[in-house]
C-alpha cells in the first residue's frame, strides 16, 4: 500500500508585506505546516509499520512455502513406486497362496500316506485273519472227514455186529433143543419160512443201510453246502467290511484334509483380518492426518481471507484518506500546475532553460525532495477579501510583473537573493535539491518553509512502537482521516485559493478531476491485478486443498474397497465352512448307519452259525434214534 508519494521535500509560502491580516495568514500557514508535518510523521510511521508488516507477511509466506515442500516433481516416481509396490504385493500374495496351496497339498499327501499306510496295515491284518480262517476251515474240513471216516467205520462195525447177531440167532435157532410138535399145515415148509424171513430181514437191513447212507450223504451235502454258503457269506461280509473300512478311512482322510484346510483357512482369515486391520489403522491414521492438514488448510485459507479482507479494508480506507488528503491539498491551493523558469524540471531533474510542465503525479511514482516556493506578490487579503494591488499583483487570473504568476506559468528571471537562493547560473541538471529562486518580491515578504526542516525542528520522534495490529492501523488511519477532515474544515475559509468564479480555473479543475479519475481508474486496475494475483494464490491454495481432499477421498475409496474384499472373503470362507460342516454331518450319519449295519451283519452271521450247529445236532439225534 503506497500513498502515491513518499515525502514532500519542502513547501515555501511567500506573502506580501503590508497588513496584519497577511501576518495572520502566515501564522495560519505555519500552523498548518506544523500540522502537516505531524500528519506526515504519522504517515511515515504508518508507512514504516506497513513495510514491516509486508516484510513479516513475505517472511511468513516464504517460510510457509519453504516449509511445505513441492512434491509435484516426485509424483511420477511416487506413482511408479506405488505401481511397483502394488505389483510386488500382488506377487507376494500369489507366492503366499502358492506356498499355502503347496503346504495344504503336502498336508493332504501326508494325511493320504498315513491313511493308506493304515489301510495297508488293515489289509495285512485282514489277510492274516483270512489265512487263519482258511486254516480253521481246513481243520474243520479235516475234522469232518475224520468224523465221516469214523461214521463209516461205525457203520461197518454195526453191520458186522448185525451179521454176528444174525449168525448167533441162527445158531441158537439151529442148536435149540425145543421140540415143538405141531401139526404143520399142509404146504408150509419151515425152511422156506426162514428163508423168507431172512430175505425180509436182509431187505430191511439193506433198505435201512441205504436210507442211512442216503441220509448221511444228504446230510453231508447239506452241511457242505451250508459250510460253503457260510464261507461265502463270511467272505462277502468280510469284503463288505473291508470296503466299509476303506471307505471309512478315505472319509477320515478327507475329513482330516478338510479340517486341515479349515484350520489353514481360519489362519489365513485371521492373518488377513490382522493385516487389513493394520492397513485400516494406517489408512485411518493417514486419513486423520490428511483431515487435520485439510482443517489447517481451511483455517489458513479462512485466516488469510480474513487478513486479506482486513488489509483490503485498510487499503480502501487509506486510499480514501489519501484522496481526502489530496482534496485537502487541492483545496489549500498547493497544486503542482507548473513553473516556468530558466531551468526545466521533468520528473525531478532541472535541465536546460525549458519549462516545467508536470501538472500531475501519475501511477505510483514519488517525488523526492522538491522545494516548491509559492511567491505571490499579488497576495490575497483575508481582511478585505480582495486581491492586494501592487507590483506583481494578482488580478483575477493573470498577474504581471517580475516573478509573478501569469496563468499557469511563473515568468521572470532567476536571481540570487540575499538568503542564498540559486540563480539561473547555479541551476544544473545534477542539482538534487531543485531549488527554484525568484526575486519578484522583497525579502521580508518571502516565507520559505521546508518540510524536512520542520520535521528536523520538531521534537524528537519516539522510537518506533511494535508492529500495530490491523485494528490499530485502522484506528490510526481513522484518526488521521478525522484530523484531515477537521483541518480541511478549518483551512478552507482561510487558505489563499484561486478565484473560484473564474472560468479558466473551473476548466482546469474539471481537467484535473478528469485526470484524477483516470489515475483512480489506473490505480483500480492495478489493485484489480494485485487482487487477481492474490485471488490466483488463494485459488492455487484451494486447488491444493482440493487435491488433498481428492487424495483423502481416494484413500477412503481404497479402504472401502479393501473392506468389501474382506467382507467377500469372509462370506466365501463362511460358505466353505458351512459346506464342510454339512459334509461332516453327512459323514457322521454315514458312519452311524455303518455302525448300525455292522452289528446286524455280525448277528446274522452268528445266527447262521447257530443254525448250522443246530442242523448238525439234529442228524446226530436222528442217527441215535435210528440206532435205537
| Dist CA 330 CA 488 (whole Å) | 10
Name residue, grid cell 436210507: 211
Q: How confident is the model at residue 39 (pLDDT cuts 50, 70, 90)?
A: confident
Q: Give the strand pairing for 10-14 and 371-375.
A: parallel
Q: What pLDDT score was predicted for residue 199?
A: 86
Compute and round to an integer the Cα radius of gyration of the chain.
70
CA angle 570, 574, 575 (to 5 degrees): 120
- For the CA atoms of 458, 464, 467, 471, what is the dihedral angle to 10 degrees? -30
More reliable by pLDDT, 376 or 285? 285
Contacts of 361 (CB under 8 A, 6+ apart): 4, 5, 336, 367
pLDDT higher at 151 or 377:
151
Distance CA 338, CA 199 (A): 191
Under 8 Å between Cβ of 28 and 494: yes
Least confident residue range of 10-14, 85-89, 132-136, 320-324: 10-14
Helix (H), strand (E) at residue 12: strand 10-14
Instruction: Determine the Cα–Cα distance for residues 535 and 537; give it in Å rounded to an integer.
Output: 5
pLDDT at 50: 92
Q: Contact, 211 vs 627, CB < 8 A? A: no
Query: What gap in Å lies between CA 407 and CA 413, rounded to an integer?
Result: 17
Mean pLDDT of the chain: 68
Between the ranges 57-61, 358-362, 517-521, where is the mean pLDDT highest?
A: 57-61
The arithmetic mean of pLDDT across residues 38-46, rounded, is 90
In this model, does residue 333 exceed pLDDT 80? no
Q: Identify the three-state secondary structure at position 394.
A: coil
pLDDT at 549 over 70: no
Q: What is the pLDDT of residue 45?
A: 92
Q: In which region does residue 395 sit, left (phi positive, over 0), alpha (psi from -120 to 50) or beta (all else)?
A: beta
As a whole number, mean pLDDT of residues 222-236 equals 82
pLDDT at 528: 65
pLDDT in tens, 404-435: 444 434 344 444 444 444 444 444 434 444 43
pTM value > 0.95? no
Model confidence at 550, in pLDDT bands (50, 70, 90)?
low
* Res 236: pLDDT: 85
Burial grade of 584 (CB within 10 A; 0-12, 13-18, 19 or more): middle
Contacts of 293 (CB under 8 A, 6+ apart): 548
Query: How many other C-beta atoms can be found within 10 angstroms of the C-beta atom of residue 403?
Result: 24
| pLDDT of amino acid 85 | 92
Report the DSSP beta bridge partners of residue 387.
380
Supply 150's cell numbers.
469214523
Q: How far is CA 615 from CA 138, 226, 601, 611, in A?
A: 20, 10, 21, 6
Is residue 484 pLDDT above 90, yes or no? Answer: no
Q: Which of 147, 151, 33 is nearest to 626 (CA)?
A: 151
Q: 20-67 and 190-332 helices cross at what angle (nearest 10)?
A: 160
How confident is the model at residue 88, as a pLDDT? 93
Amino acid at each position: 500500500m503506497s500513498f502515491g508519494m513518499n515525502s514532500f521535500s519542502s513547501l515555501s509560502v511567500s506573502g506580501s508585506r503590508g497588513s496584519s491580516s497577511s501576518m495572520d495568514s502566515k501564522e495560519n500557514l505555519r500552523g498548518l505546516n506544523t500540522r502537516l508535518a505531524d500528519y506526515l510523521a504519522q504517515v511515515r510511521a504508518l508507512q514504516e509499520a506497513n513495510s514491516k508488516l509486508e516484510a513479516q507477511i513475505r517472511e511468513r509466506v516464504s517460510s510457509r512455502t519453504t516449509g511445505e515442500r513441492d512434491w509435484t516433481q516426485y509424483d511420477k516416481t511416487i506413482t511408479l513406486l506405488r505401481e511397483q509396490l502394488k505389483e510386488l504385493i500382488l506377487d507376494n500374495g500369489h507366492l503366499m497362496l502358492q506356498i499355502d496351496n503347496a503346504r495344504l497339498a503336502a498336508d493332504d499327501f501326508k494325511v493320504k500316506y498315513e491313511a493308506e499306510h493304515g489301510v495297508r496295515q488293515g489289509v495285512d491284518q485282514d489277510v492274516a485273519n483270512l489265512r487263519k480262517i482258511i486254516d480253521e476251515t481246513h481243520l474243520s474240513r479235516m475234522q469232518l472227514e475224520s468224523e465221516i471216516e469214523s461214521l463209516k467205520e461205525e457203520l461197518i462195525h454195526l453191520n458186522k455186529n448185525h451179521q454176528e447177531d444174525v449168525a448167533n440167532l441162527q445158531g441158537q435157532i439151529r442148536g435149540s433143543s425145543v421140540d415143538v410138535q405141531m401139526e404143520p399145515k399142509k404146504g408150509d415148509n419151515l425152511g422156506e419160512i426162514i428163508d423168507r424171513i431172512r430175505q425180509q430181514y436182509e431187505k430191511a437191513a439193506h433198505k435201512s443201510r441205504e436210507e442211512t447212507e442216503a441220509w448221511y450223504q444228504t446230510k453231508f451235502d447239506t452241511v457242505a453246502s451250508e459250510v460253503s454258503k457260510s464261507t461265502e457269506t463270511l467272505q462277502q461280509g468280510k469284503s463288505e467290511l473291508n470296503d466299509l473300512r476303506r471307505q471309512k478311512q478315505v472319509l477320515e482322510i478327507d475329513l482330516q484334509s478338510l479340517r486341515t484346510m479349515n484350520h489353514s483357512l481360519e489362519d489365513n482369515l485371521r492373518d488377513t483380518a490382522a493385516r487389513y486391520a493394520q492397513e485400516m489403522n494406517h489408512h485411518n491414521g493417514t486419513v486423520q492426518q490428511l483431515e487435520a492438514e485439510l482443517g489447517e488448510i481451511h483455517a489458513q485459507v479462512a485466516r488469510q481471507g480474513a487478513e486479506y479482507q482486513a488489509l483490503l479494508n485498510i487499503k480502501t480506507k487509506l486510499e480514501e484518506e489519501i484522496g481526502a488528503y489530496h482534496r485537502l491539498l487541492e483545496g489549500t491551493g498547493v497544486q503542482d500546475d507548473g513553473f516556468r523558469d530558466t531551468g526545466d524540471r521533468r520528473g525531478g531533474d532541472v535541465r536546460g532553460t525549458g519549462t516545467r510542465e508536470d501538472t500531475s503525479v501519475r501511477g505510483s511514482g514519488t517525488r523526492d525532495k522538491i522545494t516548491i516556493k509559492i511567491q505571490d506578490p499579488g497576495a490575497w487579503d483575508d481582511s478585505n477579501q480582495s486581491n492586494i494591488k501592487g507590483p506583481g499583483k494578482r488580478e483575477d487570473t493573470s498577474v504581471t510583473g517580475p516573478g509573478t504568476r501569469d496563468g499557469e506559468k511563473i515568468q521572470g528571471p532567476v536571481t540570487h537573493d540575499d538568503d542564498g537562493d540559486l540563480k539561473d547560473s547555479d541551476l544544473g541538471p545534477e542539482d538534487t535539491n531543485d531549488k527554484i529562486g525568484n526575486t519578484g518580491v522583497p525579502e521580508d515578504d518571502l516565507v520559505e518553509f521546508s518540510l524536512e526542516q520542520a520535521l528536523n525542528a520538531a521534537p524528537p520522534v519516539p522510537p518506533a512502537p511494535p508492529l500495530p495490529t490491523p485494528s490499530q492501523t485502522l484506528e490510526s488511519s481513522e484518526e488521521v482521516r478525522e484530523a484531515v477532515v477537521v483541518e480541511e474544515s478549518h483551512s478552507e475559509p482561510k487558505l489563499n485559493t484561486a478565484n473560484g468564479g473564474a472560468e479558466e480555473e473551473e476548466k482546469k479543475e474539471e481537467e484535473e478531476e478528469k485526470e484524477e479519475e483516470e489515475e483512480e481508474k489506473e490505480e483500480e486496475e492495478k489493485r484489480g491485478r494485485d487482487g487477481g494475483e492474490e485471488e490466483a494464490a488463494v485459488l492455487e491454495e484451494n486447488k491444493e486443498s482440493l487435491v488433498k481432499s481428492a487424495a483423502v477421498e481416494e484413500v477412503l475409496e481404497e479402504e472401502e474397497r479393501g473392506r468389501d474384499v474382506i467382507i467377500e472373503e469372509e462370506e466365501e470362507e463362511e460358505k466353505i465352512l458351512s459346506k464342510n460342516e454339512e459334509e461332516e454331518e453327512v459323514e457322521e450319519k454315514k458312519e452311524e448307519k455303518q455302525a448300525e449295519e455292522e452289528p446286524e451283519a455280525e448277528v446274522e452271521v452268528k445266527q447262521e452259525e447257530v443254525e448250522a450247529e443246530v442242523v448238525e445236532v439234529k442228524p446226530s439225534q436222528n442217527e441215535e434214534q435210528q440206532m435205537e
